[in-house]
Amino acid sequence: MEKDFWHERWQRNEIGFHRDTVHPALEKHWSAVSRDEPGPVLVPLCGKSLDMHWLARQGHKVVGVELDPGAVKAFFGEAGLAPDVDETGPLTSYSAGDITLFAGDFFDFDPPGRFDLVYDRAALIALPARMRPRYLAHLATLLQPGARGMLITLEYPQACMAGPPFSVLPEELKEVREFAFDCLARNDVLEAHPRFADKGLPWLNEAEYLLTSR
């Protein structure tokens, strides 16, 4: 996707992907996924997700990366937080408490250390098929071998709707060299997302995976 596409989505507040509550799959599976390891969690393409506050409440430092600076400012502003801002690197960092969000292009994100934990909800599926291999390859460079995390995808017949969100099927994940994906749950979510039913989707699943870096 072009960067302008996402900036426009944020400027127009067309952010149907944003949840007003913590994702139930995160609450359900995170303890097992993380094995209760307390380390920092990388949240790529993080938007202003409330899941990051939940992860911080579990004792993690949280590092998010988000293209749109307005989204980053909204994340802190809506939480009543005044972050410290550092504009010295290629991405501008905003930090408050245990949460640091980097505003800029994920593909330019090159921190000094590697992460043991990652949380991807609506990041991989935000990208078209031709960009997903590059995303996964870059993500792998940011993680330690053996790093664990959670991936949440949507599955639907792609021909019935133009993304984003894009449909990412298990067959595609099986071909990914950098990661192993073990399905934790798959739920029919069409009724819960009437905006997709309105677009003519005959079925829609949400799949939750344990991701392990090879």
Chain residues in the site for ligand SAM (CB under 6 A): 6, 17-18, 45-47, 49, 65-68, 71, 105-107, 121-123, 126, 164
- CB 84, min distance to ligand SAM, A: 21
Residue appearing with tokens 């894009």: 166
Question: Toward ligand SAM, which CB reaches closer, 107 or 214?
Answer: 107
Question: Toward ligand SAM, which CB reaches closer, 36 or 108?
Answer: 108
Question: Toward ligand SAM, which CB reaches closer, 24 or 145?
Answer: 24
Cβ burial, residue 17 (10 Å; 0-12/13-18/19+): middle
- CB 55, min distance to ligand SAM, A: 12
**Three-state DSSP state, 63:** strand
- CB 186, min distance to ligand SAM, A: 18
- CB 166, min distance to ligand SAM, A: 10
The residues near 4 (Cβ < 8 Å, ≥ 6 apart) are none
Taking CB atoms, the residue at the shortest distance from ligand SAM is 47
- CB 115, min distance to ligand SAM, A: 16
Question: Toward ligand SAM, which CB reaches closer, 133 or 164?
Answer: 164
Sequence-separated contacts (24+) of 195-201 with Cβ below 8 Å: 195/16, 196/156, 196/161, 199/160, 199/161, 200/160, 200/161, 201/156, 201/157, 201/160, 201/161
Which 8-state DSSP code applies to residue 43? Answer: E
Question: Toward ligand SAM, which CB reaches closer, 14 or 146?
Answer: 14
Question: Toward ligand SAM, which CB reaches closer, 23 or 146?
Answer: 23
d(CA 116, CA 34): 9
CA angle, corner 35, sides to 151 and 166, nearest 5?
A: 0
- CB 50, min distance to ligand SAM, A: 8
d(CA 7, CA 15): 11
